[in-house]
Amino acid sequence: MKIKQEPFGKINDGKEVTLYTLENDHNMTVKIITFGGTVTSIKVPDQDGKIADVVFGFNSLPEYLEEHPFFGVIAGRYANRIAKGRFTLNGNEYNLAVNDGENHLHGGIVGFDKVVWDGSIIQTDQVVGVNLVYLSKDGEEGYPGNLRTTVKYLLNNQNELAIEYEAVTDKPTVVNLTNHSYFNLSGEGSGKILEHEILINADRYTVVDEGLIPTGELKAVKNTPFDFTIASPIGKHIDELGLGYDHNYVLNKNGNELSLAAKVYDPKSQRKMAVYTTTPGMQFYTGNNLKGDRQGKTGQTYGKHEGFCLETQHFPDSPNHPEFPTTRLNPGETYRQKTIYHFSV
């Protein structure tokens, strides 16, 4: 296994961005930049050994500095939505940046996706990887507490990319972190993902209102278009949902053990991806808002339903739903989350 680092340009204030390339012994490579902790590339073989890049992204830093729909980034301090950008903790109301209609999305205007993380190399006999660290200061985007966050990306010879998240705070706060990669197992820019077959290990999902904020109801997926308890094509019922899927699934699990969240199979390339996580939920998003106006790494554009996201997470708007698993983090505690993406054919 190999790892290398190289410059990837500078952001507007002159801060340098580093690109890390991780490579295992089976022709799987992963690229990560310190801007946004972004996964820019995951290359894996198909059944014939043909390599394709299965995540959306760009070739240069200026493209990442422009507005884009969170391709490959770490979303935080709170991934997904918080209603009206408000929550109360210990009797204090906190007002967050509002950047999705009247709601707060993925950490706000300058979330974890738009900052430069401190990076360092991890290399052992078992893995190659990157250790990323960012200190989010008290009051940043409206959140309380100085939050020190560490994210490790680790690649092994089993074609697994593990992401390990940790965070500590000096004041009570809320935390919910995820990676926002868009996948197409046929290869990025190769068309729609509607024939990909997906299994989601969840019997329930969080019902949402028109602003995609949970109502509080956890509804059974059985006999609805949300039922992927048996693997079936993503496109089978997608037209019944208007734009498509953008919903949080309540994963079948006890506590926070590492367990199966989803399996995806692409009949065209015969690539498979399994997702394991310690989180209670996972947002399934089918690229509903992609307009085909952003050119990707191979010159292809990314259009509606041409990529899907599996964002392992706590539920949206949890700080305003005490009945949901808590996202509160107190001083002296450590937030931990682990997700593994396993590729095979």
DSSP state of 78: B
Confidence grade of residue 294 (pLDDT, cut at 50, 70, 90): confident
CATH 2.70.98.10 is held by the domain 2-344: yes
Look at residue 141 and give its three-state secondary structure: helix
Report the share of the chain in percent with pLDDT over 90.
99
Report the share of the chain in percent with pLDDT over 70.
100
Tell the residue number behind the tokens 């706000």, with chain if given: 108
Query: What pTM was computed for the model?
Result: 0.97
> Are the C-beta atoms of residues 264 and 232 closer than 8 Å to each other?
no
Bridging pattern class, strands 202-208 and 214-220: antiparallel
Measured CA to CA, the distance from residue 345 to residue 343 in angstroms comes to 7
Confidence grade of residue 16 (pLDDT, cut at 50, 70, 90): very high
As a whole number, mean pLDDT of residues 259-276 equals: 98
Task: DSSP for 7-55, please give it.
Answer: EEEE-TTS-EEEEEEEE-TTS-EEEEETBTTEEEEEEEE-TTS-EEE-B
As a whole number, mean pLDDT of residues 258-274 equals: 98
Q: Is 180 a catalytic residue?
A: yes
Q: Indicate the domain borders of the chain.
A: 2-344
The catalytic position among 180, 196, 305, 314 is 180
- For position 175, what pLDDT does the model report? 98
Q: Is 342 a catalytic residue?
A: no
Q: What are all long-range contacts of 96-101, with beta carbons under 8 Å and residues at least 24 apart?
A: 96/141, 96/142, 96/143, 97/141, 97/142, 100/211, 101/211
As a whole number, mean pLDDT of residues 77-83 equals: 98
Mean pLDDT over each residue of the chain, to the nearest integer: 97
194-222 pLDDT, tens digit per residue, is: 999 999 999 999 999 999 999 999 999 99
- For position 68, what pLDDT does the model report? 94
298-344 pLDDT, tens digit per residue, is: 999 999 999 999 999 999 999 999 999 999 999 999 999 999 999 99
CA dihedral in degrees (4, 9, 13, 14; nearest 10)? 80
36-60 pLDDT, tens digit per residue, is: 999 999 999 999 999 999 999 999 9
- For position 223, what pLDDT does the model report? 95
Q: State the sign of the Cα–Cα–Cα–Cα dihedral 210, 311, 109, 38.
A: negative
- Amino acid (one-letter) located at 127: V
Confidence grade of residue 277 (pLDDT, cut at 50, 70, 90): very high
CA distances from 335 to 69, 85, 155, 173, 323 (A): 26, 22, 22, 11, 19
The catalytic position among 160, 311, 314, 321 is 311
Could you tell me which residues come within 8 angstroms of residue 224 by beta carbon, excluding any fewer than 6 positions away?
Answer: none
223-234 pLDDT, tens digit per residue, is: 999 999 999 999
Q: Output the six-digit token pair for 303.
A: 């259009």
- For position 49, what pLDDT does the model report? 93
Task: DSSP for 105-119, please give it.
Answer: ETTSTT-GGGSBPEE
As a whole number, mean pLDDT of residues 284-293 equals: 96
Strand stretches in 116-157, DSSP E: 118-123, 127-136, 147-156
As a whole number, mean pLDDT of residues 162-173 equals: 98
134-153 pLDDT, tens digit per residue, is: 999 999 999 999 999 999 99
